[in-house]
Amino acid sequence: MAIEIKIKKEFETEIVGFNGAALPLGQRTDLDMLALLALQSNNHNLLRYFEKLPTIQELENAKTNAFIKKTEEVKKVVDK
């Protein structure tokens, strides 16, 4: 299940450098990673970008589920 992470409208064009890219926040597809780093570090400079933030636990569960799903998909391909 995908987690909803929303950036405040005024920060959609904000450039933030992480995970090998510096696209505006409104165009990024790895906001879950930024959200996790913002929560882990309690960095208010990053936390201010988010309209809605899940908890660290929710983010880590989502990461685990995504990994399990990917592993199962790979297994299906290998088993064919």
Partner 1 sequence: MLCVTLTAYKRACGGVTGGLSRLWVFDPADFDFTQAKTDDPYTVVARRMGAATAKMYPIKFQFKEAERTWKQSVKSCSVKYEHEIKAQLPQLSNDLTVFLKTLDSAGCCCGLGFIIQHNDGKIFVMGEKYVNASAIPFFEVKMDGSDGASGKLYDDFNGANVVVKGDYSRDLYEFTGGATAIEGFE
- Closer residue to partner 1, CB minimum distance, 22 or 68: 22
- Closer residue to partner 1, CB minimum distance, 9 or 76: 9
* CA atoms within a 13 Å half-sphere pointing along the CA-CB vector of 54: 19
The site for partner 1 (CB under 8 A) is made up of 14-23, 34, 37-38, 40-46, 48
Residue that the structure tokens 């990461």 belong to:
63
User: Residue 74 and residue 12: Cα distance in Å, rounded?
Assistant: 35
Q: How far is CA 54 from CA 31, 35, 76, in A?
A: 11, 8, 31
Q: How far is the CB of 28 from partner 1 (least distance, A)?
A: 11
Q: How far is the CB of 58 from partner 1 (least distance, A)?
A: 17
- Closer residue to partner 1, CB minimum distance, 10 or 79: 10
